[in-house]
Amino acid sequence: MCRAVRGYLDHLTVERGLSVNTLASYRRDLDRYLVTLAAAGVTDLAAVGAAEVEGHLARLRAGDADHPPLAVSSAARAASAVRGLHRFALREGLAGVDPSRDVRPPTPARRLPRALPVDDVIRLLEAAGPGTATGDAAPRTLRDRALLEFLYGTGARISETVGAVVDDLDVDEGTVLLRGKGGRTRLVPVGGYAVEALRAWLVRGRPALLAAGRGTPAVFVNARGAPLTRQGAWTVLRGAAERAGLPVAGPDAVSPHTLRHSYATHLLDGGADVRVVQELLGHASVTTTQVYTLVTVERLREVYATAHPRARG
């Protein structure tokens, strides 16, 4: 069974091009599945029945002495990993049937992404510090403003942002090449405010911090001259959010993905076509992007409810 799991993960890496983070999650899910099967005395995927699959998924939701109950979204991902493994085993001749075929994974509740109002985004950006090369702004202040302007001005994921290198960025043309999930790349425009902040960072801030390290092509670097990490970027955003008076804890906490949600929602509010937004976000399917149209409809409904004299009743 361990060989089957390794083969399946290799298939996901080579054929599906899944991200490193997704593969790591699948590996943990499947390792836990193998432990469950071993405890039940099952040593061959061909001997697994629907009862074993259903029992494993039920235990994930209930939790045990060593594991807390999984949220619906995490349980759905684990179910996807298990079902994928069995489909792979059937296709490769490692099993005669797929015992997970009729097992329905839990359906996560559809949660609308939270987008900040434009005024809150502006407050957040300004709280990061000045975004121009004038004055005596510290290098890290220039970096922080450029980082947040970049996140909101491009809609990039946090992994794409910290993974961007200088050669991917063309400030004269106002574009950046982003490297997204599954090895897919896309060229997206960079807004004028972000370009201005990036120029200040690249000219005055980055060389000063870079001198402390051994040299890196990363656009964003830390105080040691090394590439800025995801955690480092989170710290920058959290600090700016606190200074702007925005929530940094709880369900409404501001995160890098909040700026991505805001980017998409504000584009749609401004009249952008959903297919264009799909390309800008790097979504493989427009279905993923269409959740943002629901956010826009909710906003329209709120405006209607407060502005129309016959909205109630």
**By C-alpha distance, which of 235, 239, 215 is closest to 227?**
215
- Does 111 participate in catalysis according to the annotation? no
Q: What single letter denotes the amino acid at residue 166?
A: V
Bridge partners (DSSP) of residue 187 are 177
Q: How far apart are CA 6 and CA 237, in angstroms?
A: 38
- What is the spatial distance between Cα 103 and Cα 106, in angstroms, rounded to a whole number? 10
Would residue 193 show up in a list of annotated catalytic residues for this protein?
A: no
Asked whether 142 and 205 are in contact (CB, 8 A), the reply is: yes
Tokens 């980055």 identify what position? 206
What is the pLDDT at residue 303? 62
- How do the residues of the chain divide into helix, strand and coil, expressed in percent and rounded to 5? 60, 5, 35
Is 214 annotated as catalytic? no
Q: Which of 40, 26, 257, 25 is nearest to 156 (CA)?
A: 257
> Which burial class, exposed, middle or buried, applies to 223 when counting CB atoms under 10 A from its CB (0-12, 13-18, 19+)?
middle
User: How many CB atoms within 10 Å of residue 124?
Assistant: 23
Which of 141, 155, 130, 176 is CA-nearest to residue 259?
155
- Residue 176 CA from chain centroid, whole number: 18
Residues in the chain: 313
Q: What is the pLDDT of residue 236?
A: 95
45, 89 contact by CB (below 8 A): yes
Q: Which token pair is 303?
A: 């405006």
Residue 23 region by backbone torsions, left for phi larger than 0, else alpha for psi between -120 and 50, else beta: alpha
| pTM higher than 0.75 | no
The whole-number pLDDT of residue 202 equals: 95
Q: Which of these is catalytic: 56, 83, 206, 283?
A: 283
Residues 131, 142 contacting (CB under 8 angstroms): yes
3-class SS of residue 70: coil
Q: Are strands 169-170 and 185-189 parallel, antiparallel or unpaired?
A: unpaired
Cα gap 161→151, rounded to integer Å: 7
Question: Token digits for 22?
Answer: 């997704």
> Measured between alpha carbons, how far is 129 from 124 in angstroms, rounded to an integer?
9
| Active-site residue, 260 included | yes
Strand 169-170 to strand 175-179: parallel, antiparallel, or no bridges (unpaired)? antiparallel
Domains of the chain, each with CATH number or no CATH: 2-91 (1.10.150), 118-304 (1.10.443.10)
Helix (H, G, I), strand (E, B) or coil at 101: coil
* pLDDT at 213 (0 to 100): 85
* pLDDT tens for the chain, residues 1 to 313: 888 899 999 988 887 777 788 889 999 999 999 999 998 898 888 899 999 999 998 888 888 878 888 888 888 888 999 999 999 999 999 889 999 988 877 666 566 668 899 999 999 999 998 766 455 679 999 999 999 999 999 999 999 999 999 999 999 999 999 988 767 888 999 989 999 999 999 999 999 999 988 889 999 999 999 999 999 999 999 999 999 999 988 878 898 889 998 998 888 888 888 888 888 888 777 776 777 776 666 666 766 676 666 666 4
Instruction: Return the number of other C-beta atoms located less than 10 Å from residue 16's C-beta.
Output: 11
- Look at residue 233 in the predicted model and tell me its pLDDT: 94
Looking at 32, 86, 145, 157, which residue is catalytic? 157
Amino acid type, 124: L
Pair of tokens at residue 127: 């709280």
Which of 17, 21, 296 is closest to 157 using CA atoms? Answer: 21
Q: Which of 77, 260, 261, 266 is catalytic?
A: 260
**Active-site residue among 181, 204, 230, 238?**
181
Catalytic option among 257, 275, 301, 304: 257
Q: Tally Cβ neighbours within 10 Å of residue 46.
A: 15
